[in-house]
Amino acid sequence: MIDWIDDYGKTWGVAKRRIVLGGYWYENDGFHRDGFSARSVVGKLWDEREAAGQGARKQRAIEVFTGDALSFEIGMENVAEHWFYLAHYRYVVPKRWVPVKTLIRELKEMFPKKYRDERAYYDQIHDLHCYLMGRIPDVSRETKTAQEMARA
């Protein structure tokens, strides 16, 4: 696992969860709805549910995706399907809601050849991180080299 990409993923997961839920969950104050306008893609998703998002893959919700989360979202474009689900299960779904073993079981049902056991799950996370390391646009070569040296 590559730490800085994992951090980017966690930031992306919070932003993505905010888009999906239409608000943000604060630990001590409860849930607050964002109140997206009906003309935005998120507003249409809220009003029309499943059919609203068709053909709107390029919308990045700039008002939510900024900095590291936006970089991760750009890196996730055109990623393999099993990595797409892996990233959503790992970063968007909080571990306090669904335990990791349940997530692995779900991925194993969808992709039996890729997720045979817990070890394969973590191998796929590492492969996804390696793929994203080359696709995230604003990370300097020095950061990547320092990360590789730290792993050795």
Domain count along the chain:
1
pLDDT at 43: 54
* Domain around 123: 3-151
β-strand partners of 3: none
Give the model's pLDDT for residue 33.
57
The widest CA-to-CA distance across the chain, in whole angstroms, is: 50
State the burial class of residue 105 (Cβ atoms within 10 Å of its Cβ: 0-12, 13-18, 19+).
exposed
How far is it, in rounded angstroms, from Cα 138 to Cα 2? Answer: 16
Beta bridge partners of 31: 25
Q: Is the pTM of this model over 0.85?
A: no
Closest CA to 121 of 81, 149, 86: 86
Residue 124 confidence (pLDDT): 93
| Low-confidence residues of the chain: pLDDT under 50 | 37-38, 52-53, 56-60, 141
